[in-house]
Amino acid sequence: MTTAASASNGPVGPVDSSRVPRYAGPATFARLPRLDEVGGRADVAVVGVPFDTGVSYRPGARFGGNAIREASRLLRPYNPAQDASPFALAQVADAGDIAANPFNINEAVETVEAAADDLLAGGARMMTLGGDHTIALPLLRSVAKKHGPVALLHFDAHLDTWDTYFGAEYTHGTPFRRAVEEGILDTSALSHVGTRGPLYGKKDLDEDEKMGFGIVTSADVMRRGVDEVADQLRQRIGDRPLYISIDIDVLDPAHAPGTGTPEAGGMTSRELLEILRGLASCNLVSADVVEVAPAYDHAEITAVAASHTAYELTTIMSRQIAASRQGE
């Protein structure tokens, strides 16, 4: 395989698509090198977590990471929207998958946290491909060990701040309540984006507000526009270390049918990408894209949207890494 760059003269980039067809070879994210091919160290590690035992409705997100990787074969090395070549600015590599126990949620959460600790200890920022939203909790635990309590932007149709499902404390609907309870989030800088749909009761909103979350609904995005929303989010986050967690069901089912708990009235993929681009000045320390369930989307629309979402987030991190090195 031919890469765009070699370790001797800069970051190792994607396989050269002018010499190797995009449909050939291993499906790493954006056809980037594996972590072991760059000496086990990367500035941004793209890692999969094929785990969906925490879902409450349709399963299948365990296959999401590899679906995103397959869809990412068409990503190109220059991002005109951010005027950046992210894979030339920083070493981005595919760290493979974290193998979490599908029969024991508590053990899986511990496994994901330990693996994330190892990646962060090597100096990487994480771009995680889920998996269901349960995995956000161990990822946040790990990031908070390095940065302290972090700001959170949570893009999702749902709040994910419920207490339990069937008595289980770790599910895809509870990670951010647990994170607040554990003190790993900066409660002065929390926001949901894209929420919509029915709730169990007004108490859901009241409890969510008490935890410190602000809410920008999908209707708010439609009425106010992406620039105003991005500006509001930037002001709320400031210069705090920021974690972005994106449940692909933040998008309308027309744009992301392949997910476990779809809700009508969601954002478009264009709106999501533009809001993320508007956050490029924020201090993004890690991110995830979760809940891609390819079995419900044979046209791969969802995985394509998720791959571009991960690409924008990776570009932001790469630009910030390069800028910090120039400032040293």
pLDDT digits (tens, 9 = 90+) for 277-322: 999 999 999 999 999 999 999 999 999 999 999 999 999 999 999 9
- pLDDT score of 9: 75
Distance in angstroms (rounded) separating the CA atoms of residues 49 and 236: 30
In one-letter notation, the amino acid at residue 233 is: L
Q: Using pLDDT thresholds of 50, 70 and 90, give the confidence band for residue 6.
A: very low
**Which one, of 323, 328, 285, lies nearest residue 152 by Cα?**
285
CA 278-323-155 angle, to 5 degrees, is 30
- Domain assignment present for 158: yes
Residue 7 reports pLDDT greater than 90:
no
CA 159-161-164 angle, to 5 degrees, is 125
- The number of angstroms, rounded, from the C-alpha of 301 to the middle of its chain's C-alpha atoms is 17
- pLDDT score of 327: 79
52 marked as part of a ligand binding site: no
Residue 87 reports pLDDT greater than 90:
yes
**Which one, of 238, 324, 303, 328, lies nearest residue 71 by Cα?**
303
- Domain assignment present for 162: yes
- Domain assignment present for 2: no
- pLDDT score of 177: 98
Cβ count near 237 (within 10 Å): 25
Q: Which pTM does this prediction carry?
A: 0.96
Q: Per-residue pLDDT averaged across 69-76, rounded?
A: 98
Q: Using pLDDT thresholds of 50, 70 and 90, give the confidence band for residue 328.
A: low
Spell out the alpha helix ranges (H) of the chain. Answer: 64-71, 86-89, 105-121, 136-147, 175-181, 202-210, 218-224, 226-237, 269-277, 301-326
Q: How many residues does the chain have?
A: 328
- Domain assignment present for 1: no
Q: Per-residue pLDDT averaged across 46-53, rounded?
A: 98
Is the separation of the CB atoms in 310 and 125 below 8 Å? Answer: no
Domain count, the chain: 1
Q: Can you give the residue range of the structural domain that contains 307?
A: 7-326
Q: Tens digits of per-residue pLDDT, 217-263?
A: 999 999 999 999 999 999 999 999 999 999 999 999 999 999 999 99
Handedness of CA 213, 219, 221, 223 (dihedral sign): negative
Residue 4 reports pLDDT greater than 60:
no
158 marked as part of a ligand binding site: yes
249 marked as part of a ligand binding site: yes
- Domain assignment present for 64: yes
- pLDDT score of 8: 54
- Side-chain-side CA neighbours of 148 within 13 Å: the count stands at 4
Distance in angstroms (rounded) separating the CA atoms of residues 259 and 52: 11
- pLDDT score of 3: 53
Check which CATH number belongs to the domain holding 86 and give it.
3.40.800.10
255 marked as part of a ligand binding site: no
